């Protein structure tokens, strides 16, 4: 089916991204995996090319282009070369941290952080998850107590994307002693803050190049002016911006699934068994037909959701549908594609093998599949009770 989501401007931008991928990404993928870290040079190169920070307003040296379709282009082109770790890192910057600063920041905060994020000189992160609080943010135990002109932060965070590279972290902390969602606030902690330390870089099943870390706050003191948004409204701020975060995960999931499917089709009609291409066997054709159909149907929902997102109309429920469905589809597609590769699918030099381990986290972070279904189920129940 013809895809109608993109315009000629998006197509021209895609050519720019393709050139960036060829020059800056593909030659470094294996090194980044081996070093378990994406070096900062690619961030700066992406800033120069407009591959990150495109949504930063022009007054802060950004592209001033909030159209999410440009982010979709970046994720799709990265997925074609298996750069899942880079998708995770750049998407965090573009679809989570920059919107938080842009939407909630004071003029001073925007001047301090947005220009550097647009150029790739500054890397941001957000710290929600704790050892005892993942999907349930009401369980957050990290505290931030006001002491004069400072916040004093104590606690621990874990599974923090870009936790090693980040120049600053938006910390979800409890500013009221009562254990409820209403007592949470967002406070920015910058590198070099006394009492703020980084723990180990976590050794993960997949996404080896993407730095995921533990963070510790031991009476870390930050200026009162580092409060992001309103005190006590951190939970509301998070909920308002989760549709974009979850949509970005859905986009990356679908882009990865499509890229692996394209590679698998090629493999099936090149690989011979019993004197003919394995794609000419009925079982293989049926599997490929199933995957092609599932991807097309999912793409239709995804693209409609992107339009709604751009129009400010994407609901949290619809974003949850996109997130859980696309990430579960990604797992199913890649697993079946690996099976079609046979033994070669288990060898990491083949894209399907790397995608297999990189994709496993997709149904967990940004809200697990189970949490997404709970969100949708609650919405259905409310509509029936009203």
Measured distance CA(170)–CA(190) in Å, rounded: 9
Q: For residues 173 and 144, is the Cβ–Cβ distance under 8 A?
A: yes
Characterize the bridge pairing of strands 212-223 and 227-228: unpaired
Place of tokens 């033994």: 343
User: Residue 290 catalytic?
Assistant: no
Q: For residues 328 and 361, is the Cβ–Cβ distance under 8 A?
A: no
Exposure of 74 by Cβ count < 10 A (0-12 exposed, 13-18 middle, 19+ buried)?
buried
* Tokens, residue 154: 């104590």
Exposure of 76 by Cβ count < 10 A (0-12 exposed, 13-18 middle, 19+ buried)?
buried
Cβ partners under 8 Å of residue 107, min gap 6: none
Active-site residue, selected from the candidate residues 130, 231, 245, 263: 245
**Secondary structure letter of residue 330 according to DSSP:** H
Q: From residue 286, give the alpha-carbon distance in Å to each of 281, 293, 340, 341.
A: 9, 11, 11, 15
The three-state secondary structure class of 216 is: strand
* Tokens, residue 192: 């070099």
Angle at 116 between CA 113 and CA 120, to 5 degrees: 135
Q: From residue 113, give the alpha-carbon distance in Å to each of 17, 42, 152, 216.
A: 24, 19, 21, 22
Characterize the bridge pairing of strands 272-273 and 276-277: antiparallel
Please state, as a whole number, how many other Cβ atoms lie within 10 Å of the Cβ of residue 294.
Answer: 17
Q: Active-site positions? A: 245
């Amino acid at each position: 089916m013809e895809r109608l989501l993109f315009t000629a401007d998006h197509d021209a931008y895609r050519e720019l991204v393709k050139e960036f991928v060829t020059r800056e990404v593909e030659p470094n993928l294996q090194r980044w995996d081996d070093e378990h870290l994406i070096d900062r040079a690619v961030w700066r190169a992406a800033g120069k090319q407009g591959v990150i920070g495109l949504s930063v307003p022009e007054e802060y040296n950004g592209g001033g282009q909030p159209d999410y379709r440009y982010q979709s282009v970046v994720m799709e082109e990265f997925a074609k070369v298996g750069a899942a770790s880079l998708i995770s890192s750049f998407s965090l910057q573009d679809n989570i941290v920059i919107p938080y600063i842009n939407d909630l920041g004071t003029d001073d905060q925007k001047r301090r952080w947005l220009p550097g994020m647009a150029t790739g000189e500054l890397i941001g992160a957000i710290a929600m998850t704790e050892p005892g609080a993942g999907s349930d943010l009401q369980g957050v135990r990290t505290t931030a107590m006001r002491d004069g002109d400072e916040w004093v932060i104590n606690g621990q965070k874990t599974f923090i994307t870009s936790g090693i590279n980040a120049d600053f972290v938006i910390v979800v902390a409890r500013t009221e002693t009562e254990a409820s969602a209403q007592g949470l606030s967002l406070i920015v902690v910058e590198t070099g803050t006394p009492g703020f330390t980084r723990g180990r870089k976590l050794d993960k099943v997949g996404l080896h190049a993407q730095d995921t870390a533990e963070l510790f706050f031991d009476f870390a003191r930050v200026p009162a002016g580092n409060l992001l948004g309103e005190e006590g409204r951190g939970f509301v701020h998070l909920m308002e911006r989760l549709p974009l975060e979850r949509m970005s995960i859905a986009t990356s999931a679908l882009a990865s699934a499509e890229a692996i499917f394209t590679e698998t089709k090629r493999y099936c009609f090149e690989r011979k068994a019993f004197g003919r291409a394995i794609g000419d066997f009925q079982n293989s054709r049926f599997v490929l037909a199933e995957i092609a159909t599932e991807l097309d149907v999912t793409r239709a929902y995804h693209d409609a959701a992107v339009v709604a997102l751009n129009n400010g109309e994407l609901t949290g429920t619809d974003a949850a549908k996109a997130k859980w469905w696309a990430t579960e589809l990604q797992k199913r597609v890649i697993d079946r594609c690996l099976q079609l590769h046979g033994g070669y699918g288990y060898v990491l030099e083949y894209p399907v093998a790397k995608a297999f381990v990189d994709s496993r986290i997709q149904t967990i972070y940004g809200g697990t599949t189970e949490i997404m279904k709970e969100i949708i189920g609650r919405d259905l129940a409310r509509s029936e009770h009203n």
